[in-house]
Structure 1
């Protein structure tokens, strides 16, 4: 193999896409089942090529937005009774 062929082979190898590989990012459970399920879904991106990540990220993002919206929609505890008399 001459130098020109060797250079072309190295250049071709450099531009080959890498195989999907886990990032190794840890996911700490939150204690909220819906949120934890969504965070585990991020692990599905580990087995996809990079162009498939966006669908997983958008799905998880939408699910997290819905979980946050649900927190805002839940009624809170009743207001404490007033400590003063409203009569004049």
Structure 2
């Protein structure tokens, strides 16, 4: 009785060297976001194991940029002055 051949598997990569993704990043018009997106290009020059560090750094930077949008700009606005009592 013949055994059926195993399903073909994708070949394992030979190395973990740089593999550019070739993803186009277009400017958003927001300096903080654009700087983080530009950082993604750093992953193209790293081996695959180094990609995670770049992705985590970009994710952290984008979260900080978005959180900063929730913060009021400038000094705090003073509340109404108390009514003097006589």
Which deviates more from structure 2 when the two are superposed, residues 31-40 or residues 15-24? 15-24
Number of matched pairs: 63
Structure 2 gaps of 5+ residues are 1-11, 74-86
Q: CA deviation at 1:73?
A: 1.0
In the alignment, structure 1 segments of 5+ residues that lack a partner are 1-13, 76-88
Q: Which has the higher helix share?
A: 1
Q: Distance in 2 between matches of 1:23 and 1:47?
A: 10
CA distances 1:38-73 after superposition (whole Å, capped 9, x unpaired): 100000000111110111111100100000100111
Q: TM-score, normalised by structure 1?
A: 0.63
After the TM superposition, which parts of structure 1 deviate over 4 Å for at least 4 consecutive aligned residues?
none
Q: Deviations over 1:3-59 (max 9, x none)?
A: xxxxxxxxxxx6522641321111010001111011000000001111101111111
Aligned-residue RMSD, C-alpha: 1.9
TM-score by length of 2: 0.65
Q: 2: distance between equivalents of 1:19 and 1:64?
A: 27
